Amino acid sequence: MKSPLQLLFEAIDQVKDEQDLRSQVVPKIGEYFAAKRSGIFFFDRLPSLDSNLQKTLKVALSIEHNPLARYLVERHAPVHEALVTSPKVWTMICPRPDHWHVMAGPIVNRGQLAGVVGCTREQSMFAFDTQNLADLSAICLHLSVWAATVRFQHQPFKSDRLTSRELEIAELVALGRTNAQIGKEIWITENSVKQALKRMFRKLEVSSRAEMVAQLSATKYHLSSVKKNALLAEQ
C-alpha cells in the first residue's frame, strides 16, 4: 500500500500544466502538512500579477527583509521560521495571524531558484518540525523535476539573455548601488546605466529594478558562471 507521500509524488508527476498543479497538487500539500494555507509561486509570474500582490511579494521575497527567503536563496533547502529567527522577530517580519508558523521549500531549475512552495499554520497549531522539512525536501525534489521537464522545458534561461556587462550592472543593482554609483564603478556615464537597465528590463520582461532583483537575486551565486559564459560567447 502506498504512503500518502508516495501518492503525492504520483500526483505531481501526473499534472500537465501549472493550472493542474495549483488545483490538484497544492490542496494535497496543504492537507498533508495540516496547513492553514499552502501555495506554489514561480518567480517568472511576478510581472503578470496585480500591483498589490506584486508589492507584497517583493517584500516577502526580499533577502534583506525575510530570513526565510535568504535561507532559500543561499541553500536551496526547505526552511521554517524557527530555524532562522526568534518568534518575537518573526511576528515583526510577518504579523499575519495565519502565518504564525511558516515553512517554505525551493523549486530549482538549471541551478536557479525558480519558485517556492510554502505552507503556513496559525498560532494555535503545531509548529513545523524536522520531519516536515524532510518531507517537504522530497516534495520539492519532485516539483523541481516536474518544473524542469514540463513547465520550463521550452523556456530559455532568462539570465542567459544578458551580456557580461549587463550581468555586472545587475549585480551592482542587487547590492543597492544607484545609477550614478554604478556608472562610476564600471566607468560609464549615468545615462548609459539608465539605457542599459531599460534594455535589461525588456530582456527579462520586468518593469522595475525591484522586479529584476526579485528575479535574479535567487541566482546571485550563479551569476558568476553565467557571466563567464557570456564573456566566452562575446569573444
Based on the domain organization, do 100 and 178 belong to the same domain?
Answer: no
Decide: 178 and 184 in contact? Cβ < 8 Å.
Answer: no
Burial class (CB in 10 A: 0-12, 13-18, 19+), 92: exposed
Which stretch, 33-47, 54-68, 181-195, 219-233, has highest mean pLDDT? Answer: 181-195
Q: Please tell me whether residues 144 and 162 are part of one structural domain.
A: no
Q: Considering only the C-alpha atoms of the chain, give the largest distance between any 2 of them, rounded to a whole number of Å.
A: 66
Listed in sequence order, the residues at least 6 apart from 35 whose beta carbon sits closer than 8 Å to its beta carbon are 29, 119, 120, 121
Residue ending a domain, choose from 151, 183, 204: 151
Query: How would residue 50 be classed by pLDDT, with cut points 50, 70 and 90?
Result: low
- Cα distances from 117 to residues 103, 114, 168, in angstroms, run 8, 11, 30
pLDDT per residue as tens digits for the range 1-31: 889 999 999 999 999 988 999 999 999 999 9
Under 8 Å between Cβ of 180 and 135: no
pLDDT 10s digits, 96-111 = 899 999 999 999 987 7
- Is the same domain home to 162 and 147? no
**Residue 163 and residue 131 in one domain:** no
| Mean pLDDT across 203-227 | 63
Q: How far apart are the C-alpha atoms of 168 and 176, rounded to whole Å?
A: 13
Distance between CA atoms of residues 39 and 52, nearest Å:
18
pLDDT band at 225 (very low <50, low <70, confident <90, very high): very low
Q: Rg for the chain (alpha carbons), in Å?
A: 19
Residues 143 and 171 in one domain: no
Q: Which of 135, 151, 167 is the last residue of a domain?
A: 151
Q: Buried b vs exposed e over 208-218: b needs ≥16 C-beta within 10 Å?
A: ebbbbbbbbbb
> 103 with 202, same domain?
no
For residue 35, what are the CA distances in angstroms to 2, 126, 127, 143?
Answer: 22, 10, 10, 18
The residue range of the domain holding 52 is 4-151
Cβ contact 33:103 at 8 Å: yes
Of the pLDDT bands very low, low, confident and very high (cuts 50, 70, 90), residue 38 is very high
Residues 103 and 46 both lie in one domain:
yes
Task: Give the end of a domain, one of 151, 173, 195.
Answer: 151
Domain count, the chain: 2
Q: Are residues 205 and 142 in the same domain?
A: no
Asked whether residue 177 falls in the same domain as residue 127, the answer is no
Q: What is the CATH classification number for the domain harbouring 145?
A: 3.30.450.40
Yes or no: say if 61 and 87 are a contact pair by the CB < 8 Å rule. no
| CA pair distance 38, 132, nearest whole angstrom | 14
State residue 152's pLDDT score.
73
- Read off the CATH number of the domain in which 185 is found: 1.10.10.10
Q: How far is 225 from 235, CA to CA, in rounded Å?
A: 16
- What is the CB-side half-sphere exposure of residue 141 using CA atoms within 13 A? 10
Q: Which residue has the cell 564573456?
A: 231
Q: Give the E-state strand segments of 56-174 in sequence order.
A: 79-80, 101-109, 112-121
